[in-house]
């Protein structure tokens, strides 16, 4: 029976073997009264706790999760809890965008001798969960369909890159090509209204290179598979952040990559363009001007202005020029102001927790589990060992439920914490148009707020925040159980 009034709830506790489990034991030996809602999982160290343990518990019926380890500085393995502290803090800031009340998860530090502190922490946390009540089940969430408002002001004029030095770029590629196995760029795809990656190996291939707002693919995705070969890549500003991030993580070698850059004026949201074009037999003409593109399909002209049809990420893009480049052509338009909240994330910010839960449930019911989001992601590099397909450990079942699909998306987003450069390839590749970039954007916001404005992919020499720690964390506050 719970010592708290009312129904016993389901609380999962992950306790480090060396301190907090001992603290709970000390409280028990001292016969300190404790609520009985908690089910303890003993782990070797708080550093062993993957945030997916907590998310799985919360999405599969736990009403609350409590993590407790040794005090910072006292970890049996010296540093495990310092790393854990950063991961757990980011997870706590991530939960609200999922529609999960962040008060359902707490982490704390309790030593083996602190039986009283354990009693206080577990009692206060259980009270907190009882006040919140039983957690809503994801599968029972209501239907909620809402679409982000894309009417935003960009940080710089968006355009179609009509004055880009394409001829100079082609010349530079032809000059470098003899030293390289391949140069990756863009070419016209199955029709003039779409582009596709181009792998240039011979000078005649370079003629197929195109530049403009239809060049939506982030070509950095292909770089890891060329590791060990000499390869060139044409980048937009956002793509160059992915190249920098791959260098930072040692996934490619700087000496093997030649980066060609041109200033980006924005890319088009192909999902909305395809929707506007509808079913067509033939593209008759694609005409560009400074402000947009006119596409004539089956004799009917469609006008797409950049300020209305750019990808959401372009409105808040502060890197129109490449972060790093070996051959740099043209000058990017200066950025004015600070980036606004991206439209998809702004939509979620405007919702209540229960609305976000309903929103994601409605979206995840549409997911067909094709993993295009993962495959298009330049930072998703452990594909053969992906948690989505692993049978050992078997974290995800193949069930076609919204919960399992949402769990995959949350894991994917967490694996990108401090790594996602916001290129939006996950969302662009999604065949059913689920706005999953918002999950990565919330993680990026939490990382920036917690780690002094850190932005992934800006400096190849920087240590990603979740791969390091500081003994004193300026923006991470320890939970005060006396409040």
Return residues touching ligand FES (CB under 6 A): 16, 18-19, 45-47, 69-70, 75-77, 80-81
Q: How far apart are CA 197 and CA 210, in angstroms?
A: 10
From residue 207, alpha-carbon distances to 200, 217, 251, 321 in Å are 9, 19, 30, 24
Note whether 312 and 348 are within 8 A (CB).
Answer: no
Q: How far apart are CA 230 and CA 236, in angstroms?
A: 20
Q: How far apart are CA 229 and CA 207, in angstroms?
A: 23
DSSP state for residue 140 in the 8-state scheme: G
Structure tokens, 25: 């034991």
Q: How far apart are CA 46 and CA 228, in angstroms?
A: 37
In the complex with ligand FES, which residue's Cβ is closer, 42 or 208?
Answer: 42
425 dihedral zone (left: phi>0; alpha: psi -120 to 50; beta): alpha
In the complex with ligand FES, which residue's Cβ is closer, 18 or 94?
Answer: 18
Strand order in the sheet with 64-69: 38-43, 11-16, 64-69, 105-109
In the complex with ligand FES, which residue's Cβ is closer, 19 or 396?
Answer: 19
Note whether 343 and 301 are within 8 A (CB).
Answer: no
**CA neighbours within 13 Å on the CB side: how many for 335?**
17
Question: Smallest distance, Å, CB 114 to ligand FES?
Answer: 13
Q: Per DSSP, which regions of 56-192 are E strands?
A: 64-69, 105-109, 182-188
In the complex with ligand FES, which residue's Cβ is closer, 76 or 227?
Answer: 76
In the complex with ligand FES, which residue's Cβ is closer, 45 or 264?
Answer: 45
Q: Which helix (H) or strand (E) holds 131?
A: helix 115-132
348 dihedral zone (left: phi>0; alpha: psi -120 to 50; beta): alpha
In the complex with ligand FES, which residue's Cβ is closer, 12 or 75?
Answer: 75
Question: Smallest distance, Å, CB 84 to ligand FES?
Answer: 7
Note whether 251 and 381 are within 8 A (CB).
Answer: yes
Question: Smallest distance, Å, CB 111 to ligand FES?
Answer: 9
In the complex with ligand FES, which residue's Cβ is closer, 77 or 454?
Answer: 77
In the complex with ligand FES, which residue's Cβ is closer, 18 or 304?
Answer: 18
From residue 413, alpha-carbon distances to 148, 310, 406, 421 in Å are 20, 23, 11, 12
Question: Smallest distance, Å, CB 335 to ligand FES?
Answer: 43
In the complex with ligand FES, which residue's Cβ is closer, 46 or 363?
Answer: 46
> What size, in residues, is the chain?
483
In the complex with ligand FES, which residue's Cβ is closer, 47 or 342?
Answer: 47
Q: Write the CB contacts of 269 (distance below 8 Å, at least 6 apart in sequence).
A: 150, 309, 310, 311, 312
In the complex with ligand FES, which residue's Cβ is closer, 24 or 259?
Answer: 24
CB-neighbour burial class of residue 482 (10 A; exposed 0-12, middle 13-18, buried 19+): exposed
The single residue listed with the structure tokens 């060990």 is 228
Question: Smallest distance, Å, CB 372 to ligand FES?
Answer: 38
In the complex with ligand FES, which residue's Cβ is closer, 46 or 195?
Answer: 46
Question: Smallest distance, Å, CB 81 to ligand FES?
Answer: 4
Question: Smallest distance, Å, CB 65 to ligand FES?
Answer: 16
Question: Smallest distance, Å, CB 112 to ligand FES?
Answer: 10
Question: Smallest distance, Å, CB 88 to ligand FES?
Answer: 11
DSSP 388-452: TT-SSS--S-----HHHHHHHHHHHHHHTTTT-----HHHHH-TT---THHHHHHHHHHHHHHTT
Question: Smallest distance, Å, CB 467 to ligand FES?
Answer: 17
Helices (H) and strands (E) in the chain — how many of each? 16, 12
């Amino acid at each position: 029976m719970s010592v708290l009034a009312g129904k016993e709830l389901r609380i999962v506790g992950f306790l480090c073997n060396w301190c907090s489990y001992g603290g709970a034991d000390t409280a028990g030996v001292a016969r300190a009264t404790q609520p009985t809602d908690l089910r303890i999982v003993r782990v070797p160290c708080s550093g062993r706790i993957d945030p997916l343990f907590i998310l799985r518990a919360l999405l599969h019926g736990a009403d609350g999760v409590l993590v407790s380890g040794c005090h910072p500085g006292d970890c049996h393995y010296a540093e495990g809890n310092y790393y854990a502290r950063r991961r757990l803090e980011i997870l706590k800031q991530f939960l609200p965008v999922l529609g999960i009340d962040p008060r359902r998860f707490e982490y704390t530090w309790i030593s083996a001798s602190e039986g009283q502190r354990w009693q206080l922490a577990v009692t206060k946390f259980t009270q907190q969960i009882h006040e919140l009540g039983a957690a809503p089940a994801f599968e029972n969430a209501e239907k909620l369909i809402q679409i982000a408002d894309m009417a935003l002001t960009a940080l710089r004029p968006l355009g179609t890159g009509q004055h880009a030095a394409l001829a100079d770029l082609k010349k530079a590629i032809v000059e470098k090509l003899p030293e390289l196995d391949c140069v990756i760029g863009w070419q016209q795809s199955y029709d003039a209204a779409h582009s596709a990656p181009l792998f240039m190996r011979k000078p005649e291939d370079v003629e197929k290179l195109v530049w403009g707002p239809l060049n939506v693919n982030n070509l950095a995705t292909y770089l890891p598979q060329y590791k060990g070969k000499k390869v060139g890549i044409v980048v937009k500003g956002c793509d160059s952040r992915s190249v920098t991030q791959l260098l930072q993580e040692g996934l490619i070698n700087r000496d093997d990559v030649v980066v060609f850059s041109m200033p980006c004026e924005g890319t088009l949201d192909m999902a909305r363009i395809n929707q506007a074009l509808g079913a067509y037999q033939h593209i008759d003409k694609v005409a560009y001007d400074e402000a947009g593109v006119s596409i004539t399909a089956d004799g009917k002209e469609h006008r797409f202005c950049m300020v209305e049809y750019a990808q959401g990420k372009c409105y808040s893009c502060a890197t129109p020029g490449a972060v790093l480049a070996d051959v740099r052509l043209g000058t990017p338009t200066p950025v004015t102001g600070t980036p606004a909240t991206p439209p998809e994330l702004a939509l979620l910010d405007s919702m209540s927790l229960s609305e976000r839960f309903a929103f994601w449930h409605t979206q995840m019911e549409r997911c067909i589990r094709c993993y295009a989001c993962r495959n298009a992601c330049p930072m998703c590099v452990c594909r053969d060992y992906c948690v989505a397909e692993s049978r050992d450990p078997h974290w995800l079942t193949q069930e076609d439920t919204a919960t399992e699909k949402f769990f995959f998306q949350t894991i994917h987003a967490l694996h990108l914490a401090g790594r996602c450069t916001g290129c939006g390839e996950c969302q662009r590749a999604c065949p059913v148009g689920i706005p999953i970039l918002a999950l990565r954007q919330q993680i990026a916001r939490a990382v920036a707020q917690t780690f002094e404005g850190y932005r992934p992919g800006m400096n190849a020499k920087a240590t990603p925040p979740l791969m390091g720690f500081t003994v004193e964390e300026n923006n991470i506050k320890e939970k005060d159980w006396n409040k």
